[in-house]
Copies of this chain bind each other. A is one copy, B any other.
């Protein structure tokens, strides 16, 4: 049997904010505190199921909270009025709001206090955006296309904040449309670069390997993007959702095997894939 090496991409899988939220949930459960999460903690049914089995309840509103339960705020954050209601009801909070989201909320609050007309570049109705909007005191627009930009008069001072997961190219395009209008635009770059870093890392990985396994949902946009990038680098690429799909002939005469994963792929799924690759290569 030939020698082989498995290399993991420098950045892959869950973003920092989601990892942190899951860790907070697990630690809280282990410490014996009962918790319920307001909405699913991540858009991955397998991972939500795993946490439910550990003891995490998922609720749709705070009225469903049991008298002895603490409330987990997921990484997206929640609107200010809801937060105030929770505090008024003296509910114990486990706050897993992503620090990057919390910072974006803070910047909206700051721009509001400084009298800026606020524009949030993001998807209207997205849970994170609902939270951001709530810090803007009402005079605020959510813009996801140049057509949605509100009227701007020559003396306007505009404060701009982005939804953390918004694609940078779309963000730049909308800022461009606003530039040169109004008197001042003040743009805070609240975008998270997790996706961009994952994409850079798979490119780097392709330079060092002969074959790349990309783990993630077949209809996950960010996972497909990783596949496309790896393919354009000229290595063999296989896109799988679970370890059952791995085939031993993919690794024949391959010395360096790369592994990466899309944003909704839990760590334990990735670990199972790594184990299975080792098994197939050792046969």
Q: A residues bordering B, Cβ < 8 Å?
A: 168, 171-172, 175-176, 179-189, 191
Chain B residues within 8 Å of A184, by CB: 186-189
> Quick check: B171 and A179 within 8 Å, CB to CB?
yes
* Main SS at interface, chain A: mixed
Chain B residues within 8 Å of A179, by CB: 171-172, 175-176, 179, 187, 189
Chain B residues within 8 Å of A176, by CB: 172, 175-176, 179
Chain B residues within 8 Å of A168, by CB: 180
> Quick check: B189 and A180 within 8 Å, CB to CB?
yes
The 3 nearest A-B residue pairs measured at CB: A176-B176, A175-B179, A168-B180
> Quick check: A183 and B172 within 8 Å, CB to CB?
no
Select which of B175, B180, B186, B191 is within 8 A of A171 by beta carbon: B180
Chain B residues within 8 Å of A171, by CB: 179-180
Chain B residues within 8 Å of A191, by CB: 180
Q: How far is the CB of A122 from chain B (nearest CB, A)?
A: 14
Chain B residues within 8 Å of A181, by CB: 189
Q: How far is the CB of A84 from chain B (nearest CB, A)?
A: 28
In the assembly, what is the distance between CA of A175 and CA of B182, in Å?
A: 14
> Quick check: A187 and B187 within 8 Å, CB to CB?
yes
Q: Can you report 14 A-B residue pairs in the complex whose CB atoms are below 8 A from each other?
A: A168-B180, A172-B176, A175-B176, A175-B179, A175-B180, A179-B179, A180-B191, A181-B189, A182-B189, A183-B189, A184-B187, A185-B187, A185-B189, A186-B187
Inter-chain pairs besides A172-B179, A176-B179, A180-B189, 4 sampled, C-beta below 8 Å = A182-B189, A183-B189, A184-B187, A186-B187
Chain B residues within 8 Å of A188, by CB: 183-184
Q: How far is the CB of A207 from chain B (nearest CB, A)?
A: 24
Chain B residues within 8 Å of A175, by CB: 175-176, 179-180
Closest B residue, CB atoms, query A162? B180
Chain B residues within 8 Å of A189, by CB: 179-185
In the assembly, what is the distance between CA of A176 and CA of B189, in Å?
A: 13
Q: How far is the CB of A153 from chain B (nearest CB, A)?
A: 12
Closest B residue, CB atoms, query A186? B186
In the assembly, what is the distance between CA of A176 and CA of B182, in Å?
A: 16
